[in-house]
Amino acid sequence: MSFLEITNLSIRFGGLVAVDDFNLSLEKGELVAIIGPNGAGKTTIFNMLTGIYKPTTGSIVLDGENMVGLKPYQFARKGITRTFQNIRLFSNATVADNVKIAHTMHNNQNLAKCMIRTPGMRKSEVELDRRVIELLDKLGLADKADFLAKNLPYGDQRRLEIARALMTEPKILLLDEPVAGMITTELEDMARLVPQIRRDFDVSIILIEHHMNFVMPIADRIKVLDFGKTISEGTPEYVQKDPKVIEAYLGGGYTQNGTA
Ligand SMILES: Nc1ncnc2c1ncn2[C@@H]1O[C@H](COP(=O)(O)OP(=O)(O)OP(=O)(O)O)[C@@H](O)[C@H]1O
Ligand SMILES: [Mg+2]
């Protein structure tokens, strides 16, 4: 059995089957991309993989443990963390504080202890600051640690979201359209950063993206969704040439760049 085993995953909203029989076996350290036109069901898969939605049918097994029915914080504790399609940062907090808050929220059982500032606590605070800076450094944000999140350029905000997710030390990182709305140079930075994160943090990555050109060089495998169904899967080379994929993208008015 693979590290993450998703079997026959489906979810229905009223009459709409938003995700229909989705299957994925993810190995440790693998980078799999999910692509597909708007409304294909990509984000809904992430919502099921983080406990926000409970699938109508199917199973999610992480490291041999059934995850269906667990709460979002339990998914996070077990090591699945995501970023959001629409950036969610504390915009009036500093870059460093955004990362720290992620740590505190993830370890909220210690909140009561945080109120009493023992010497041990102060030591762990120093340690936490060190980790935050180290993380920001790896993501190229260390020199902006004291900026307010809202004052960061858009590309940096996306990287800060990833830094926050990494602060919870995930085993599987879910990235929902990390380059949406980016300009070309930012996109190139992200294309370097994602494989580097996978190496440096020893995580498996599932990446949702419209931009074919971004996904193709970095993904081991690609799954293509359309109207909830998996219409193609395989290596980037295979998927790119699959007539069904070309049809789905061209039919949806997409170019190779994923722009409508
Ligand atoms: N809570 C919900 N209630 C009803 N319908 C929903 C709900 N969440 C998602 N859907 C529907 O499920 C379908 C898949 O949506 P989803 O957000 O997963 O698409 P997506 O592939 O992420 O699209 P995009 O590329 O635009 O982000 C859409 O038709 C959407 O309207
Ligand atoms: Mg989406």
Tens of pLDDT, residue by residue over 165-178, are 999 999 999 999 99
Give 240's contacts (C-beta < 8 A, 6+ positions apart): 212, 216
Domain limits for position 135: 89-167
Residue with the smallest CA separation from ligand 1 atom 16 is 41
Confirm whether 113 is domain-assigned. Answer: yes
Confirm whether 106 is domain-assigned. Answer: yes
Q: Poorest-confidence range of 64-78, 111-125, 228-242?
A: 111-125
Q: What residues line ligand 1, using a CB cutoff of 6 Å?
A: 13, 16, 18, 36, 38-44, 85
Query: What ligand has the least distance to the C-alpha of 34?
Result: 1
CA atoms of 179 and 190, how far apart (whole Å): 7
202: left (phi over 0), alpha (psi -120 to 50) or beta: left
* Residue with more model confidence, 259 or 86: 86
Confirm whether 134 is domain-assigned. Answer: yes
| pLDDT of 181 higher than 90 | no
pLDDT of residue 101: 87
Tokens describing residue 227? 């109207």
Confirm whether 185 is domain-assigned. Answer: no
Q: Calculate ∠ Cα 35-40-44, nearest 5°.
A: 95
Question: Percent of the chain having pLDDT more than 90?
Answer: 76
CB atoms within 10 A of CB 71: 11
Confirm whether 105 is domain-assigned. Answer: yes
Residue with the smallest CA separation from ligand 1 atom 14 is 41
Query: What ligand has the least distance to the C-alpha of 54?
Result: 1
CA atoms of 250 and 46, how far apart (whole Å): 25
Confirm whether 142 is domain-assigned. Answer: yes
Choose one of 9, 20, 34, 44 to mutate for the ligand 1 pocket test, by most ligand atoms within 8 angstroms of C-beta.
Answer: 44
Q: What is the pLDDT of residues 8-54, one digit of tens each?
A: 999 999 999 999 999 999 999 999 999 999 999 999 999 999 999 99
CA atoms of 137 and 5, how far apart (whole Å): 33
The gap between the terminal CA atoms of the chain, to the nearest Å, is: 39
When pLDDT is cut at 50, 70 and 90, the band that residue 124 belongs to is confident
pLDDT of residue 119: 67
Query: With a threshold of 0.85, does the pTM exceed it?
Result: yes
Confirm whether 40 is domain-assigned. Answer: no
Confirm whether 126 is domain-assigned. Answer: yes
CA atoms of 87 and 25, how far apart (whole Å): 28
CB atoms within 10 A of CB 29: 13
| pLDDT of 3 higher than 50 | yes
Q: Poorest-confidence range of 78-82, 110-114, 124-128?
A: 110-114
Q: How many domains does the chain have?
A: 1
To which residue do tokens 């993810």 refer? 26
